[in-house]
Amino acid sequence: MPHSTNSHITIHKIQPPEGSAINFGAELRGADIENVSESDFEVIKKALYENNVILFKNQQSLSPRAQYELARLFDPSATGYGHGTTLDAKRSILHPDLKTIPHQPQVQAIGNGPVASFEGLENITLKHPHHKTFHKHAISAEDDRDNTRFYRWHIDAALYDLEPPRVTSLMAVKVPKTEMQNLRYDDGTGDQLKVSRGSTAFVSSYKMYDLLSEEDKEFARTTKVQYAPHPYIWMSPARSRSDGLGMESDGLELDSSSLPSIDESKIKILPMCWKNPVTGQLALQAHPSAVQKLIRADGTVIDELKEVREIVHRMQRPGIAPELVYGIDWEEGDLAIFNNHGVLHTVTGSFLPEEVRIFRQCNMAASEPPLGPDA
């Protein structure tokens, strides 16, 4: 890493659009991401943990290698992709969405449409995830072009064996620009939000924590979340709530005899609150569709799945209110990096089969577990 004593990077907070109350997100200008100096990285890291989503414009020429190297600076001991090789499992709900770049396996191609050649991947067809394949109730075919949903609010994490990546980067290579869509919550509240087609939506899990009652804050600080083993296979027959924030409970999850073999030592039990390593703030951070049990401070286990999900949904739902959602209006060349321990995010939108969109995603399983509330 070249050494220099000062950085020319400047930080510009995202201006919330009319009616929005978002208090996170920043654009960083003046960074040379192919040659990040130590002082540059100090600025980038601080900006990431203070703003939770940072955006660099005009990065069209950035190599997958440099994208990987930048992600690795946040966790120099990490080497492998955040999901390991589990995406290869055909039954995983993540399997169709990500294609590994052969010469840089920590970087995945995601998007939509036919692609003749991209970074060593030849004649591939990318498929933008559509909520109708995941939600219990879908928007009707005639309303589908103008309306969309949050596909699946999540943390990028295998949640079995591997630790949740500290950061994920998303690089917009090709972006079809079309009209805006109306994002519907369809949860009886009437909530809705305008988003650009294919916007990636983020919410702050620090805000989500701050919105809790004092009683719920205490619950969050002292409770641990146990995730299902092989969660993305386990949940594969189950269907999501219409707000994308966790699953409906219809008893459809696979039982352990239908899953790959389970090593009890690899089951993930993580705090419900994760501490920001720079600001010290607490995030209410749980993957709503992968949760299986809650373990209270006194050792009591809440293991009735419907009840577990109701508790988590009640605590998280206020944090995804329309005015708290930051939806990136992607332009080609945008590189976003987000604090995967402090935000939830989701795909939105739907594309026609021929609309070509290409993104590169990079993250790495963390070298250590997330910081708990008492760290």
Residues that bind Fe ion (CB under 5 A): 156
Nearer Cβ to Fe ion, position 292 or 363? 363
Nearer Cβ to Fe ion, position 236 or 340? 340
Closest approach, Cβ 241 to Fe ion, in A, equals 18
Return the residue nearest Fe ion (CB atom). Answer: 156
Phi, psi of 49 (to 5 degrees): -75, -20
Q: Locate 369 and state its tokens.
A: 């577990």
Nearer Cβ to Fe ion, position 311 or 335? 335
Nearer Cβ to Fe ion, position 74 or 219? 74
Residue 183 to residue 194: CA distance in whole angstroms: 6
Q: Locate 311 and state its tokens.
A: 């508790």
Closest approach, Cβ 38 to Fe ion, in A, equals 29
Q: Kindly give the pairing relationship between strand 26-29 and strand 273-275.
A: unpaired
Contact of 363 with 169, CB cutoff 8 Å:
yes
Closest approach, Cβ 275 to Fe ion, in A, equals 22
Residue 216 to residue 222: CA distance in whole angstroms: 10
Nearer Cβ to Fe ion, position 37 or 148? 148
With residue 203 as reference, give the H or E element that holds it. Answer: strand 200-204
- Roughly how many angstroms between the first and final C-alpha of the chain, as a whole number? 30
Closest approach, Cβ 156 to Fe ion, in A, equals 4
Closest approach, Cβ 346 to Fe ion, in A, equals 8
CB atoms within 10 A of CB 304: 12
User: Residue 121 burial (CB < 10 Å; 0-12/13-18/19+)?
Assistant: middle
Q: Kindly give the pairing relationship between strand 180-184 and strand 147-148.
A: parallel
Closest approach, Cβ 155 to Fe ion, in A, equals 8
Nearer Cβ to Fe ion, position 350 or 363? 363
